[in-house]
Copies of this chain bind each other. A is one copy, B any other.
Amino acid sequence: MMDLTEKTLESAAVYRGLIVNVRRDKALLPDGRPCEREVVEHSGAVALAALTDNGELLFVRQFRYPYGETVLELPAGKLEAGEDPLEAGKRELLEETGTSAARYTDLGLYYPSPGYCAEVIHLFAAFGLTFTGASPDEDEFLETERVALTKAVDMVLSGEIRDGKTQAAVLKLAMLLERERGNPA
Mark contacts of A38-69 with chain B using CB atoms, 8 A cut-off: 1 yes-contact digit, 0 otherwise. 11101001000000000000000111111100
Of the candidates B2, B121, B141, which one forms a contact with A143 in the assembled complex, judged by CB atoms under 8 Å apart? B2
Size of the chain A interface, CB-CB below 8 angstroms: 77
Query: In this assembly, does A174 line the interface, its C-beta being within 8 Å of a C-beta of chain B?
Result: yes
Over the window 90-110 of chain A, the binary record of Cβ atoms lying under 8 Å from chain B Cβ atoms (1 yes, 0 no) is 000000000000000011111
Q: Within the complex, what minimum Cβ distance (angstroms) separates A45 from chain B?
A: 8
The count of identical subunits is 2
**Is A147 in contact with chain B by the CB < 8 A criterion?**
no
User: How far, in whole Å, are A61 and B2 apart by their CA atoms in the complex?
Assistant: 11
Q: Is the CB of B66 within 8 A of A116?
A: yes
Q: Is the CB of B24 within 8 A of A39?
A: no
Whether A175 lies near B164 (C-beta < 8 A) is no
